[in-house]
Structure 1
Amino acid sequence: MAETGNSNALKIAGAVILPNLGSIVNGRLTRNNLKNWYENLKHPSFRPPNWLFAPVWTSLYAGMGYGSYLVWRDGGGFNGDAQLPLVAYASQLALNWAWTPIFFGKHSIKGGLIDIVALTATAGACGLLFYRINKTAGLLFVPYMAWLGFATALNYAMWKLNPEKEQKTEEKRN
């Protein structure tokens, strides 16, 4: 039985909305810590303005979500060839969502750096696995990988510029 246009549209919408759900929850955590903690850190000269992060992440999440739909559709769903790429997708998404509570919630710049390095590696593997199923889906990870490279450099620079902030956070935990 052929799928209807409405059914496909709902599946696409769900795939695009899913990755944004974590950002909605994490957005509150970020806003609560911007003035209290983040703005008091030393920042590298290449830090973009805070307002830029939400639209960039929203578009990247939409792209990766649509890519996941394409892989699910063309790879036979969760029981077909798409299984491993979709597991990689879920893994990188979990690491993506975990970064904000680590960095902003725990005030752990180093923990955020460790997470984003693992995220970048996992997202790269996911993009390659997506590409094998659907070239467009794989290519949708190119801007994501570029942004993750930039975000990793930003996180690293923050860690190097704020060693005493990281130390104080560690001491408070112990």
Structure 2
Amino acid sequence: MSQMNWPAIGCTILPNVGGVAGGIFARKSVENWYATLKKPEWRPPNAAFGPVWTSLYSSMGYASYLVYRDGDGFNGPARLPLIVYGSNVLLNWAWTPIFFGAKDPQLALAEIQLVNLTALGTGYLFYKINPIAGYLIIPYCLWLGLATALNYVIWRDNKDSKPKITEVKEK
């Protein structure tokens, strides 16, 4: 019987921790605030986001394991790719509290640009260590493109729905 590859399992699960936390955090806001927003007809159904993000986070996590394994961990050439990847995951996790918690699509749109930039950097740097790891980042980058477009359209079409800071102070 073969041994379990705990590093691969841990790397695959880790990005999902923030994803699950974000989903729990956003649930009430999705039901209340997000439901009231104007959204494009082409947006995926709400039920699609959980399974899609779970599969993307899992493939990203496994890709990070491949890079860690093949690039001698943080003491070898994998160091920079893993730092960029870690930054990307943290930025990705931060988007949910900005969009759903602060209810600020404009700030979330600015922040998701950093997510896109670090995702592309991750894919490129991962590819240099392990091409399969680089390829595993492609679906994530494509989904981020859709998420960015959705964030933009929601911001554009709902600019007047967020109370101005001065209006909140006056109440």
Fold agreement, TM-score > 0.5: yes
Paired residues in the alignment total 169
Q: Percent identity?
A: 49
Change in Cα spacing, 1:32 to 1:172, as seen in structure 2 (3 Å) is farther
Deviation at 1:170, TM superposition (A): 4.3
Q: 2:11 aligns with which of 4, 10, 15?
A: 15
Q: 1:100 aligns with which of 96, 100, 104?
A: 96
Establish whether residue 133 from structure 1 lines up as the match of residue 129 from structure 2.
yes
Deviation at 1:165, TM superposition (A): 2.0
Q: 1:6 aligns with which of 3, 17, 33?
A: 3
Moved over 6 A (4+): none
Residues 38-53 of structure 1 correspond to what in structure 2 (within 5 A)?
38-53=34-49
Letter in 1 for 2:3: N
- Asked if the contact 1:107–1:169 (Cα under 8 Å) also holds between the matched residues in 2, the reply is no
Cα distance in structure 1, aligned partners of 2:22 and 2:164: 20
Report the counterpart of residue 29 of structure 1 in structure 2. Answer: 25
Change in Cα spacing, 1:173 to 1:73, as seen in structure 2 (3 Å) is farther
Cα distance in structure 1, aligned partners of 2:168 and 2:116: 27
Letter in 2 for 1:132: K
RMSD over aligned Cα, in angstroms? 1.6
Please give the secondary structure, in 1, of the residue aligned with 2:3. helix
Report the counterpart of residue 68 of structure 2 in structure 1. Answer: 72
Unaligned stretches of 5+ residues in structure 2: none
Cα distance in structure 2, aligned partners of 1:144 and 1:30: 20
Cα distance in structure 2, aligned partners of 1:114 and 1:170: 19
TM-score (norm: length of structure 2): 0.94
Cα distance in structure 2, aligned partners of 1:102 and 1:69: 29
Please give the secondary structure, in 2, of the residue aligned with 1:136. helix
Shifted more, 69-78 versus 23-32: the winner is 23-32
Letter in 1 for 2:73: G
Unaligned stretches of 5+ residues in structure 1: none
Cα distance in structure 1, aligned partners of 2:106 and 2:164: 10
TM-score (norm: length of structure 1): 0.93
Shifted more, 112-121 versus 82-91: the winner is 112-121
Establish whether residue 116 from structure 1 lines up as the match of residue 115 from structure 2.
no
Please give the secondary structure, in 2, of the residue aligned with 1:44. coil
